[in-house]
Chains A and B, each alone.
Chain A
Amino acid sequence: AQTVTQSQPEMSVQEAETVTLSCTYDTSESDYYLFWYKQPPSRQMILVIRQEAYKQQNATENRFSVNFQKAAKSFSLKISDSQLGDAAMYFCAYRSAQGGSEKLVFGKGTKLTVNP
């Protein structure tokens, strides 16, 4: 079974600075998807960024980028120019690309605090 590990229960960053959230995963599959979801106090899950395992190029979405190291099974999220609105719980998630295995496996989450 796949597992996702987030080793940082809490992180803090100064507004406008850069922060990196760590995520590692374990799988025997070669094709899969990785995601970072944000859960603000409203508790609505919001997709931040995704990465297809077959793509070598790291995904980027504006201020958010990932460092995907497939061999190391590492998938970290970098938030640049942090804003107060970035404060939230961040969950790393794995999904198999095999048909019939659509469920997401989540890490335990990292609580990000942004200090003004």
Chain B
Amino acid sequence: DTAVSQTPKYLVTQMGNDKSIKCEQNLGHDTMYWYKQDSKKFLKIMFSYNNKELIINETVPNRFSPKSPDKAHLNLHINSLELGDSAVYFCASSTRTGPLGEQFFGPGTRLTVL
């Protein structure tokens, strides 16, 4: 009955590798997001997807690419990982017809690049 779930919870990998983080929501929301939280706990929006269309793409390197096979999933692919990519990545979802702006967050994926 988890609302927003992410896998894996922890990911440790070497520089230069390619990795993916998966996100699923069972809330029936039409918009999903990826946020990055750095070591200083600052949460910053990376992407949002609405009806399979990219709505926001902040100043994120193109090594990061979101992929949404359907409304309930938004996966994050990262190519050529760098040390600076180490952070906690949160997936979130919301609905346009619900309360304005309320987003539900997944448990986060802690990525460590060695």
On whether the two chains bind one another, the answer is no
Which A residues have a C-beta under 8 Å from some C-beta of B? Answer: none
